[in-house]
Structure 1
Amino acid sequence: MSSTFLYGGNVCANGIRQHYLRYGSRANEHAARPAIVLIPGITSPAITWGFVGEVLGTRFDTYVLDVRGRGLSSASDTLDYSLDAQADDIVELVKALGLASFSLVGHSMGARIAARAASRIESGLQSIVLIDPPASGPGRRPYPSQLPWYVDSMALARTGMDAEAVRQFCPTWTFEQRQLRAEWLHTCDERAVLASFKGFHEDDFFADAARLRVPSLLITAERGDVVTSEDVGELQRATPSMLHTRVPNAGHMIPWDNEAGFYAALSDFLGASVTLDASRR
């Protein structure tokens, strides 16, 4: 099956360079459906979500973002890496891309960015998917991953690492997944990651989620404790219309562990269903 990758691009939005990868149809076959803006997690450049972009691109015009301080987007020692700045990036990105109708799909940190951005977007937002968002925050339990896991792996990446070296950090991943992380992890700015990790404990995700006014879907992992059943209950009480699906046989990096289960969890929430085509893999 042919690739749905169209091109990589950059826009100047919110005063910085924002890099993205675009997937979809060259014939613009998906124009009737809302586009998808996919926002990755704390140390996941856009390219590491390319395998998901390929599949989403079979049904949707899909943009996978390099969040500031990751991949090929702007990074510097003077850049603001706060959640507010990241949310404003999304607000300005969709304007710069000229998207009149779109959905936000965010994983982990990206889900928290999407939830914060949603209340700031004036028009065009149709729905939002929150994939295993960190439920940590003021007065709540800490985020279960430890900071040295990020710092040590990034330090090794900056010196040069291979798939085997990644195994100590991601032991269940395939060779291809580990090799891609080895290639791109060095593009994650440590200052950005430190600021985002700090924000996991200081920013109130539950308050942002309670303000959602568009259809929302919460996707959580069966394994791990990033989002507990108690967290799900609290989120759905605050936003009764929020749908929820737990993906079996998956940890926090859900599509890496159970890609087919991830697409099944999306179902037709975004306007069309997608499935994992075995011939593509």
Structure 2
Amino acid sequence: MSSTFLYGANVRANGIRQHYLRFGGKGRPLVLVPGITSPAVTWAFVAERLGRQFDTYVLDVRGRGLSETAPGMDYSLEACAADVGAFAQALGLADYFLVGHSMGARIGAIVAAHHAQGLARLVMVDPPVSGPGRRPYPARIDWYVDSIRLMREGADWEKLKPFSPTWTEAQLRLRAEWLHTCDEDAVVCAYHAFGTHDMHADLPAIAVPALLMVAGKGGVIEAADVDEIRSLMPGLEVRTVPTAGHMIPWDDEEGFFQGFGTFLGTPV
């Protein structure tokens, strides 16, 4: 099957240069927001498939990939959410779907609660449920910082094996190629925001239909967390990918796509 990739481009929105990759070009617009150390290109394999049915835009979150990075930049989750809202408006995306993974899911929840113009549906893929007074996010900050520093120094892809021992060589090579573009300050800020920003306070303000996708082996979201989130979002749909860890499409790509069901109007 031929590639659905169209092009990469930049747009100025919310006062910064935002870089994105576009796939498909037909159907409902879909904005894909990756996680804390995942530049847009590392989600291209997901966007390739989404691009078969949706006009898919994969965003480089500020401080990552080819989007703007600068000393002293505001890397808060709130700033990143404002970026996404402004990005959609700048490109004239109407009735768009937003799919966010991990940090991207946390950003997506803020978008849906506070920057929802044009947003039709939200998919939160295994968001960290940590926050004030809650158990911490299970991943350690040095896992991110140490791997970024290794790649910034030009280390070989094999140095990433201890960080992601189940990943294939191709997956590790791609991560090794792009990890150096993740600004350390941006990553540290986002990581700490997982514990200081109260996601649960945003959830009742989300009016669009929403889907929560849970990694069965991720250790990020537990059954009690699902119950609490459902109590705050009574119409929430929940699907679990039982065989996958937190990086769901890397662990079980087909299970990830099946996890959408028909929430986006058609199976993906």
Task: Provide the TM-score with structure 2 as the length reference.
Answer: 0.98
Residues 11 and 93 in structure 1, CA contact (< 8 A), matched pair in contact too? yes
- Indicate yes or no: 2:111 matched with 1:117: yes
When the two chains are superposed, the root-mean-square deviation of aligned CA atoms in Å is: 0.9
Q: 1:187 aligns with which of 175, 181, 185?
A: 181
Q: Deviations over 1:85-125 (max 9, x none)?
A: 11110110001111112011000000000100112235321
- Specify the alignment match of 2:252 in structure 1: 258
Q: 1:164 aligns with which of 155, 158, 165?
A: 158
Q: Supply the distance in 1 between the matched residues of 2:109 and 2:9 (Cα, whole angstroms).
A: 24
* Secondary structure class of the residue paired with 2:150: helix
Task: Provide the TM-score with structure 1 as the length reference.
Answer: 0.94
Q: Supply the distance in 2 between the matched residues of 1:209 and 1:78 (Cα, whole angstroms).
A: 29
TM-fit CA distance, 1:149: 0.5
Count of aligned residue pairs for this structure pair: 268
Residues 35 and 101 in structure 1, CA contact (< 8 A), matched pair in contact too? yes
Q: Supply the distance in 2 between the matched residues of 1:259 and 1:213 (Cα, whole angstroms).
A: 29
Q: Supply the distance in 2 between the matched residues of 1:162 and 1:269 (Cα, whole angstroms).
A: 40
TM-fit CA distance, 1:35: 0.9
- Specify the alignment match of 1:17 in structure 2: 17
- Specify the alignment match of 2:67 in structure 1: 73
Q: Supply the distance in 2 between the matched residues of 1:16 and 1:86 (Cα, whole angstroms).
A: 11
Residues 162 and 183 in structure 1, CA contact (< 8 A), matched pair in contact too? no
Q: Supply the distance in 2 between the matched residues of 1:210 and 1:259 (Cα, whole angstroms).
A: 31
Q: Supply the distance in 1 between the matched residues of 2:117 and 2:46 (Cα, whole angstroms).
A: 26
* Secondary structure class of the residue paired with 1:266: coil
Q: 2:128 aligns with which of 134, 139, 155?
A: 134
Which residues in structure 2 correspond to 1:30-109 (within 5 Å)?
30=27, 34-109=28-103
TM-fit CA distance, 1:225: 1.6
Q: Deviations over 1:159-213 (max 9, x none)?
A: 1133311111110001111000000000000000010011000001111122210
- Select between 122-131 and 51-60 the one with higher mean Cα deviation: 122-131
Q: What's the % identity of the aligned pairs?
A: 56
Q: 1:152 aligns with which of 138, 146, 150?
A: 146
Q: Supply the distance in 1 between the matched residues of 2:129 and 2:2 (Cα, whole angstroms).
A: 38
Q: Supply the distance in 2 between the matched residues of 1:55 and 1:38 (Cα, whole angstroms).
A: 12
- Indicate yes or no: 2:6 matched with 1:6: yes
Residues 71 and 184 in structure 1, CA contact (< 8 A), matched pair in contact too? yes
Q: Supply the distance in 2 between the matched residues of 1:66 and 1:5 (Cα, whole angstroms).
A: 16
TM-fit CA distance, 1:233: 0.4
* Secondary structure class of the residue paired with 2:259: helix
- Specify the alignment match of 1:213 in structure 2: 207
- Indicate yes or no: 2:221 matched with 1:227: yes
- Select between 118-127 and 48-57 the one with higher mean Cα deviation: 118-127
* Secondary structure class of the residue paired with 2:12: strand
TM-fit CA distance, 1:63: 0.3
> 2:3 corresponds to which letter in structure 1?
S
* Secondary structure class of the residue paired with 2:114: coil
> 1:68 corresponds to which letter in structure 2?
R
Q: Supply the distance in 1 between the matched residues of 2:218 and 2:19 (Cα, whole angstroms).
A: 31
Q: Supply the distance in 2 between the matched residues of 1:236 and 1:224 (Cα, whole angstroms).
A: 19
What are structure 1's unaligned runs of at least 5 residues?
275-281
What are structure 2's unaligned runs of at least 5 residues?
none
> 2:235 corresponds to which letter in structure 1?
S
Q: Supply the distance in 2 between the matched residues of 1:138 and 1:260 (Cα, whole angstroms).
A: 35
Distance 1:159 1:122, change over 3 A: closer
